[in-house]
Structure 1
Amino acid sequence: MKKTLTLAALLAGFGLAHAEPATYVIDPNHTSASFEAKHFGLSTIRGRFDKKEGSVTIDRAAKTGKVQVSIDMNSISTGVTMFDGHLKGEAFFDTAKFPTTTFVGDQVSFDAAGKVTAVTGQLTLKGKTLPVTLTATSFNCIDHPMMKKEVCGGDFETLLPRSQFGVSAYPQASPENVRVLIQIEAIKQ
């Protein structure tokens, strides 16, 4: 009697047909959260947040996932101390009242090759929670040669309507939509 192995049986034999969700912890040294906005239509102001933490869970077989990120708003850095203080004030981020911004993404989109293309979830900024989609401009997972673990990462971006989050001061100085850029690397646990 001749036996034929199907692809599903072969994958099941290697444990790939029933993949489990994998959890990754964000590597703060290789993760960046930054923003850019025009200043009076003249130049582009850029800033970043130096303290962030979180985790990512991906189930490649089910094509689902979850992202949880927390950003310390007092870690803002534009390279200009006086401007950093201005952005921490009530007119902008009001970090005395709202020291943390969080993003919880519960809808992860994948392409046909299984790469993440977008993450949609809820962003809480300055006490307001609204839906946001972070679009991936790149995404990949590798067996990291130095860490000896799987690491996934990519570049994501979105436009945030600042007034909807209560950051509406000086509309003549900066446009309504601020570009947010996230570069993330996360290590499998």
Structure 2
Amino acid sequence: MNRHVIASVLAASTLAAVGVAQAAPATYSIDPTHTFVTFEVKHFGTSTNRGRFDKKAGTVTLDKEAKIGSVDITIETGSINTGTGPFDAHLKSKDFFNAEAFPQATFKSTKFIFNGDKVSQVVGDLTLLGKTQTVVLSANNFGCYQNPMLKREVCGGDFETTIQRANFGMEYGIAYGIPNDVKLIIQVEAVKQ
């Protein structure tokens, strides 16, 4: 092989490596108007109580080529909204979220799991009432699209998990039948920055 061919191969390899290096993770900001953190818990094994947190913020990083990502979300516990004022006040109290002492809950991912090109699970640490537990969010839907109004890429999906609230020290009512299991449903859309 002559020197010109070797030089061409090296140059092509270098350009390819630079191209890969430039495919860095993209940063996305959570869109609060299309992101909802809701919960469901059975009421004494009969109907289902539902509520949501109205104030949340955070960022997502995603490298679709390398199939890695991270998420960091903060939720204001005092923004809980069930549609019933007295119930909201009880949930904000020391019996449940103790929103005055613990005004924020956070989720920080430790790993994204992909199935092909789509995020299928997000593993991370949920901190609530000052206690941190590892949870796995399963993606029921995930995709990215070019938003025609924002003129930017938006990625999002529907994620869910079930937690045991007693693991975070939220034990009120368990002894007399209020379930320990709480289903979390997180609808997320984030806008590329």
Q: Measure the CA separation in 2 of the matches of 1:65 and 1:34.
A: 23
Structure 2 match to 1:30 = 34
Structure 1 match to 2:126 = 123
**Partner letter of residue 28 of structure 1?**
P
Q: Measure the CA separation in 1 of the matches of 2:20 and 2:31.
A: 26
**Deviation by residue 1:106-144 (Cα, 9 ceiling, x = unmatched):** 2011111x1111110111001101101111000000111
Structure 2: gaps (5+ residues): 1-12
The alpha-carbon deviation at position 17 of structure 1 amounts to 8.4
Is the Cα contact below 8 Å between 1:17 and 1:61 reproduced in 2? no
- Secondary structure (helix, strand or coil) at the match of 1:67 reads strand
Q: Which has the larger radius of gyration?
A: 2
Q: Measure the CA separation in 2 of the matches of 1:136 and 1:45.
A: 23
TM-score (norm 2): 0.88
Structure 2 match to 1:108 = 112
- Secondary structure (helix, strand or coil) at the match of 2:33 reads helix
How many pairs does the alignment contain? 181
**Partner letter of residue 168 of structure 1?**
E
Structure 2 match to 1:84 = 88
**Deviation by residue 1:54-87 (Cα, 9 ceiling, x = unmatched):** 0000112221111000000000000100000000
Which of 163, 174, 180 pairs up with 1:160?
163
**Deviation by residue 1:79-105 (Cα, 9 ceiling, x = unmatched):** 100000000011111111101000000
Q: How does 1:131-170 map onto structure 2 within 5 Å?
A: 131-170=134-173
**What fraction of aligned residue pairs are identical, expressed as a percent?**
51
Tell me how large the CA RMSD over aligned residues is. Answer: 2.1
